[in-house]
Amino acid sequence: MNQETFVIGVDYGTDSVRSILVNATNGQEIASSVFYYPRWKAGKYCDPSANQFRQHPLDYVEGLEHTIKHCLQQAGSDIAAKVKAISIDTTGSTPVAVDENGTPLALTPGFEENPHAMFVLWKDHTAVKEAAEINAHATKFDTNYLQFVGGIYSSEWFWSKLLRTLRVDEKVRNACQSWVEHCDWIPFLLTGGKKASEMKRSICAAGHKALWAAEWGGLPPEEFFSSLDPLLNGYTKKLFTEALPSDKAAGKLSQEWATKLGLSTDVVVGVGAFDAHMGAVGGQIEPYHLSKVMGTSTCDMLVAPTKEVDGILVKGICGQVPGSVIPGMMGMEAGQSAFGDCYAWFRQVLAWPLNEVLSKTSLVDAETAKALAAEAIDRIIPTLDKKAAELPLDENSVLGVDWLNGRRTPDANQELKGALAGLNLGSNAVVIFRAIVEATCFGAKSIVDRFNSEGVTVKGLIGMGGVAKKSPFIMQMMADVMNMPIRIHKSEQTCAVGAAMFAATAAGIYDKVEDAMKAMGQGFDAEYFPDAARAAIYAKRYEKYKALGKFVESLN
């Protein structure tokens, strides 16, 4: 292989997009760039009180151009000619209504400021009613069309969001010619796609969120959707039949985007996928090891040889799809709707007086007050993390349930709420923070328990993402709660690295993604081992967590 061969991995997260330029021979990161979505950062088009979270496609487009160009500028002018491929990952399910040309409606006249014409972010839970209807409707058919998505359809997913959008906005309903995942649209954009009907669809998104399965030749039959609601009549024809793994090419870079980026039209653009799926590859996933991407939420990926899990259907997870993570293997997905978001929520609670009271102080000028508040807020989580690590483990201390954004798995229910129990007048911020952290670890354990009980034994844990890299306290608690070691991947950008590995494979630099993983993987730089005494106490507290969870569910 030519030593001077490069690929680009693009990772679209909740708050920002990151691109990295990687040497395809050894995985060395040559340059990286981050772009924070300006409209999202300003809080536009969102209503957290109603669980509405939308993102404007311009945030995505501007970030794509900015980060790739910035990477190339850092690397030097001679590198651009040696870039062979680009692949992208995104959050999901994050779909959008498009016209017949495949253009998101928010980029067309009359829809520029309409939230329903924008991408419906993964954590948007406005479609809870529609998800419940899909679950009830599915029981009326001889074929269980939910069998490959854990048996429960979620408000976070493709069809729930489509149905709600069609119901609440007549103008969008009339203009919508297809419904497209973010991870499918960006490759379509880069390759100069002109017809929505010709868009390459990812098997990752199609199988885990859109009910696509080879067993029924694509999507469920038209009758399944039209009998649910006449508004869905004809939508299977507007969508897709074929779905592709991410080691395949979606096409080559269009002249327009080649000119924008300063790259060649020979650059291959790979089929997209969700962030956690490519992140698992970037984090060098192994069979039966749960690969945990821990950020605002968690996505937990597990792969197994297809023949070894033939006939097993794990209940209550986010799907199992052949080839969705690694082509040729069964990809299984689970996760938590809130992980880092639980900590961020508590930070916001504690920050209220800083934002509302300090801003009105007469002791310092407004600019200084703002700077003081910002500095204090930035230090809240690191300080709580440090102090919580110093607390003794008490079997009877404050207990939490982590469903602040509903429950993703096991057994999706986005209407559930979080809880704290056992509070007293001595329950200070550090004690409460520790209970919240413990709750997120217990939520992670419930996922492992479900895999184990359904016959897919979890043999190890791999940690990735911001929380895994930043907090030894949380990772040690994770190991103690799970009573299992957890290895932390060296790369801080496993999703983008995974995208780069898929880019190298789509371009033919490697024959299969496992070869790219071996050549380009960075390995692990930390491992946390469980403490037997602490694990025994956590086991008792875990039983209390489950009991508290059942009580919370009874109130729903």
Q: What is the mean pLDDT of residues 112-126?
A: 96
Q: What is the mean pLDDT of residues 464-491?
A: 94
Query: pLDDT-derived band of residue 360, with 50, 70 and 90 as boundaries?
Result: confident
Q: How far apart are the first and last CA of the chain?
A: 58
pLDDT reading at 275 higher than 80: yes
Q: What is the dihedral of CA 542, 544, 548, 550, to 10 degrees?
A: 80
Q: What is the pLDDT of residue 423?
A: 97
Average pLDDT over residues 423-432: 97
Q: In the structure encoding, which two tokens stand for residue 298, read together? A: 């968690």
- 206: pLDDT strictly greater than 80: yes
| Rounded average pLDDT over 359-366 | 89
pLDDT above 70: residue 220: yes
What separation in angstroms does the CA of 353 have from each of 43, 349, 367, 371? Answer: 20, 9, 17, 14
pLDDT at position 1 is 47
Percent of the chain with pLDDT over 70: 99
Query: Residue 11: its pLDDT value, please?
Result: 97
pLDDT band at 328 (very low <50, low <70, confident <90, very high): confident
Q: What is the pLDDT of residues 429-453, one digit of tens each?
A: 999 999 999 999 999 999 999 999 9
Please say if the pLDDT value at position 9 is more than 70. Answer: yes
Question: How many residues in total does the chain contain?
Answer: 556
At residue 3, the pLDDT reads 63
Q: Concatenated DSSP letters for 397-444?
A: S-EEE--BTBB-SSS-BTT---EEES--TT--HHHHHHHHHHHHHHHH
Give me the pLDDT at residue 138, please. Answer: 97
Q: Tell me: the pLDDT tens digits for 491-540?
A: 888 999 999 999 999 999 999 999 999 999 999 999 999 999 999 999 99
**C-alpha to C-alpha distance for 302 and 467, rounded to whole angstroms:** 20
Per-residue 3-state assignment (H helix, E strand, C coil) for 97-123? EECCCCCEHHHCCCCCCCHHHCEECCC
What domains are there in the chain, each with its CATH number?
6-283+491-522 (3.30.420.40), 340-490+526-554 (3.30.420.40)
Total-model pTM: 0.89
> Considering all CA atoms of the chain, what is the largest pairwise distance in Å, rounded to the nearest integer?
71
Q: What is the pLDDT of residue 397?
A: 97
Q: Which H/E stretch holds residue 329?
A: strand 329-336
**Distance from C-alpha of 141 to C-alpha of 212, rounded to nearest angstrom:** 16
Q: Helices (H), strands (E): how many in the chain?
A: 19, 20
Nearest to 535 by CA among 461, 456, 442: 442
